Amino acid sequence: MRSVAINVGANTNQPGFRGPIFGDGRFEYVPIPESASIREEAAVPTYADLDLSVDVSDVADTPVHLDPTFAGIHDCERYTYGDPHGVKARPLLDLDAGDYVFFYATLSTADDQRADWIAPDWGTYLIGHFRLERDPLSADDYHEASDAERALFSNNAHVKRDPFDAEVLLYGDGAGSELYDQAIPLSSREAGVDANRLVTDLSSDSGKGPWWRRPMKFDREATEELLAIRDSGDYERAFK
């Protein structure tokens, strides 16, 4: 069992703000805007269509790139993820059914009174994961798949694009995948730019430079520790 962590969600470049993290660790998953052409028959939500507390008035009518999708979140029914970029697609394609993909996002601290593991101003946090129900699909795999297999990804943002552009597609097991209720810190307590031990000790990343934009690999032991932290809620383990 292995895992890869991938950066997702709104940021200061797209659409110009991050999703919020509240004082108790709850957060909102805010997608980036859609930047590609969409097939005429495909339906894509706008920021105004999403149930968000953050002010989206400046981009209310902008379509969103809703990827990953989490069942029960933003009217999605399945756990899917696609990516067109080789730097992310390559490590994801190395995974197998039963492996994990973690999703992390940069989030802006919304409350003055906050848990002591939440960084001031902004930080980087795990927000959810997939346990892969099936092996990842390459672009060629997807085009050669049966209609029934391709239908599993019908609501994925990359399938809705014209042309289809995913280099990898992932499908999460409904019993082992989730968007978290409470984010898990990857940043230090002091600053969002500083990585904690989940990055520097457990992942393939050094935690130097803009680590919060890069994919991170975790071996079996590290993956088990991330899952144990999620299950226990003992976030002190991120700093020890």
How far from 50 is each of 44, 53, 59, 179, CA to CA, in Å?
11, 9, 12, 16
Instruction: State the pLDDT at residue 9.
Output: 98
pLDDT at position 226 is 98
Q: Is the peptide bond before 68 cis (omega within 30 degrees of 0)?
A: yes
Contacts of 53 (CB under 8 A, 6+ apart): 20, 28
- Residues of the chain where predicted confidence (pLDDT) is lower than 70: none
pLDDT digits (tens, 9 = 90+) for 80-109: 999 999 999 999 999 999 999 999 999 999
| 223 closest CA partner among 101, 127, 134 | 101
- Which residues lie closer than 8 Å to 216 by C-beta, 6 or more apart? 4, 5, 199, 203, 204, 205
Helix residue ranges, H only, the chain: 86-93, 139-144, 147-151, 157-160, 197-200, 220-232
Q: What is the pLDDT of residue 240?
A: 85
Confidence (pLDDT) at 159: 97
